[in-house]
Structure 1
């Protein structure tokens, strides 16, 4: 095989990264990314990992990504770091897919096609471009499988679990599944891997305890406190039926029944069973990624975790057997590949493109405008705003922030514990934030008189005002899938 053929996977990485960079034009960036970036900038400005001045708080779910974002802010500046960081995330994710291809294929052509098709699936695009920590995380996890288990490098078995757990503590699920499959497959224990896992958990927990005075991230505590619900068995079943389609199918459709997801799920299972019946070394890694995909989805769904980014990595890993199955067909492979691209890959990419354009408009053009408007209006950045969510508006306004969930401000959690039903109005009365940003009309309802007495409506923000464009196609997309929520902004008068 020629040297040029052997380099095909590298060429595929470069081409895939360049292709996905087109999505930067959509400005589709996840709200929570701006929480992490504000924490990073708070570290720059105050020398403290926090969100509001010199108050320490683990407002971001990821510590490692905070430090990476901090470095990019230092290197490129606050005004210019976002695009380089998104490109960096995309490169890391695609290198991770290169490492995964080395675990699954021998043929360079198969590797190259896999890298591109895998890289343009909706979750892959979101991991790469939306600004979250999953690009780094996916790279680290695939590096662990490749260097730690395939190449059997002891340094990888020790160092990479530490970095993985310092990125997200819930990666114990991934590390645990990998450990169990490795033990059952090889009938031995890798003590270096045990050491890496123990060190990873110890360092993550110790950092939280000695820096923040808590064992787990505040984000986990806050979400559990506000979203905690007691369900009966029948309610659990109904909840699952309502939400499963958002996670396994890569495609969010309205309604409780999503047959498309069921078809994809069954095909993934059939392909996986077909592949593991063959005696191939790569089955070792297929078991790992497939079991992890199922375990992560079921555990998080059972905990009522509806944030879709939790499911991005499991979604794409569960689809891996389909790509392997199609690429390794010896009879009519081109027909199989053509059908896969036409029936699934291409429609999914088109769907993600439309989704990113629409959501980018609703987030970047609309929600960001609320923050920039406040930034222009209020020059005193020591003033407080109460709102939800804590991403775009706090980042672009620069104001101190109380969010409804308590991700970036712990004091509101005490109000939730005391009186969950009335915690919002109690926070307003006790802390008197200068600004309130609400989905609702606060001048209507049981507390209307208090709001009318102490606040005035400063501005109404309406998503319908942002569904226009000089480009006819863009306007049709904005109206086809409007993204955003109407807000009312209030300012305190006394």
Structure 2
């Protein structure tokens, strides 16, 4: 009876972790790009088309599977009420993934329970759960593949899960490839079911892109490459990498290029990993998978100048897994080790993320969202266009048709970038004549000021400093400690 009770500890821990993290919903910290996916889902609901602006097809979201999941939540709960249920769903899926991971790597139920909670309250885990991105679903699917496919040997899982994983994000080919290679070297045989699943995943995703959108890869990838691509020498690539990895390899991003805390944590992760694999246990099979993937994913994305935080959430967590296992399995002075970890790392990270979530939630939800709400009330014709960057909060809450600077939600601007990358913004304004412009800059100063003064009127200024107040003094201190957001000028066309 006692053993049965103990075996339930990981499940209790998972439930408690989900409930604990729901407190972060109060911060309203939701990632900008989540609103792109959700608008695509609502566009599918309204027009029957996967797009962003009416009946024009475009893969504006990086994730197809999450678009369909978001579509279902919009359908069930309605556009006004789907967000919280979806965020709770994401949190449950992610935490279930950590439960499966604990089964792969640990035996003691108490160790599993502590593992689930501690990894669940680290900054990347909190962001995966409540920021509205697709990584909760993705982490869950990846752990289901490892647990039921490679641990339990379910052949159906080996075929089906690669399809779902790749349909969630096409760059998961990195994860699937690392898992294949480790399995091949470990077992000295090929799992043909998994090979078939991988091929099916590639064919299904690329075929969907091709037959529905007329492209092989998502438009988001094409747009970012077109605008952000630059020619670097090898030495410039190398210096850029070393300047960047200190902030993106670890869980704490600090001002400046170099983060020494990350170096210390990285070295400790390596030491713990080497210590664990020297024990020659069966779990080493999965440790190799997650640790190599963590390294490879980070190296590839940093080397490609991919500096968006969410690319690194899952690798950051997986690289930290050996640290938790190492400390939990110490036979002597385990409580001392665990206390030191919690006091000097887990709690400071949790505090950092709490402050970050409150401040950023204020800057996004209480500030940037108000721009969209203002436009929604001001402009009743939702067929009018706005040119801006980024394409998340403001288009979602305004309901206006949108041209974004990068071209994620509108392909026509990509043609202007190809023709004249330097002047593509003003050329788009002159050619498309959008009714609204939302700019970080004062368009009446600098180049083309005469054109803007002739054809556009400043409608309203939006300033971050106007949103740093609260009835609660502690919140106001956090807002002012870490102001989040960008000052905007909103212009309306005169003619």
Please report the TM-score for the alignment, with normalisation by the length of structure 1: 0.99
- Paired with 2:37 and 2:447, the residues of 1 have a C-alpha distance of 36
Instruction: Name the SS for the 2:461 alignment partner.
Output: strand
User: Residues 157-168 of structure 1: matches in 2 within 5 Å?
Assistant: 157-168=158-169
Instruction: Name the SS for the 2:254 alignment partner.
Output: coil
User: Residues 215-364 of structure 1: matches in 2 within 5 Å?
Assistant: 215-364=216-365
Stretches (4+) displaced over 6 A: none
User: Residues 428-447 of structure 1: matches in 2 within 5 Å?
Assistant: 428-447=429-448
Per-residue deviation at 1:262? 0.5
- Paired with 1:175 and 1:52, the residues of 2 have a C-alpha distance of 34
Farther off after superposition, 425-434 or 2-11: 2-11
Aligned residue in 1 for 2:183: 182
Per-residue deviation at 1:249? 1.5
Q: Does 1:31 align with 2:32?
A: yes
Per-residue deviation at 1:232? 1.7
User: 8 Å contact 1:246–1:308 — kept in the other structure?
Assistant: no
Aligned residue in 1 for 2:423: 422
User: Residues 20-59 of structure 1: matches in 2 within 5 Å?
Assistant: 20-59=21-60
Aligned residue in 2 for 1:85: 86
Aligned residue in 2 for 1:109: 110
- Paired with 1:449 and 1:246, the residues of 2 have a C-alpha distance of 41
- Paired with 2:477 and 2:377, the residues of 1 have a C-alpha distance of 31
Aligned residue in 1 for 2:490: 489
User: Residues 113-124 of structure 1: matches in 2 within 5 Å?
Assistant: 113-124=114-125
Q: Any idea what the Cα deviations from partners look like across 1:373-392, whole Å, max 9, x if unmatched?
A: 00000000000000000000
Gaps of 5+ in 2: none
Q: Does 1:405 align with 2:422?
A: no
Per-residue deviation at 1:176? 0.2
Per-residue deviation at 1:242? 2.4
Q: Any idea what the Cα deviations from partners look like across 1:336-379, whole Å, max 9, x if unmatched?
A: 00000001000000000000000000000000000000000000
Please report the TM-score for the alignment, with normalisation by the length of structure 2: 0.99
Per-residue deviation at 1:259? 1.1
Gaps of 5+ in 1: none
Per-residue deviation at 1:138? 0.1
Per-residue deviation at 1:231? 1.1
User: 8 Å contact 1:245–1:251 — kept in the other structure?
Assistant: no
User: 8 Å contact 1:60–1:219 — kept in the other structure?
Assistant: yes
User: 8 Å contact 1:366–1:484 — kept in the other structure?
Assistant: yes
Count residues with an aligned counterpart: 494
- Paired with 1:257 and 1:72, the residues of 2 have a C-alpha distance of 41
- Paired with 1:446 and 1:11, the residues of 2 have a C-alpha distance of 61
- Paired with 2:33 and 2:244, the residues of 1 have a C-alpha distance of 21
- Paired with 2:182 and 2:124, the residues of 1 have a C-alpha distance of 25
Q: Any idea what the Cα deviations from partners look like across 1:123-148, whole Å, max 9, x if unmatched?
A: 00000000000000000000000000
Superposition RMSD in Å:
0.6
Per-residue deviation at 1:397? 0.1
Per-residue deviation at 1:2? 2.1
Per-residue deviation at 1:466? 0.4
Q: Does 1:373 align with 2:374?
A: yes
- Paired with 1:241 and 1:175, the residues of 2 have a C-alpha distance of 27
Per-residue deviation at 1:230? 1.0
- Paired with 1:356 and 1:154, the residues of 2 have a C-alpha distance of 41
Q: Any idea what the Cα deviations from partners look like across 1:11-61, whole Å, max 9, x if unmatched?
A: 001000000000000000000000000000000000000000000000000
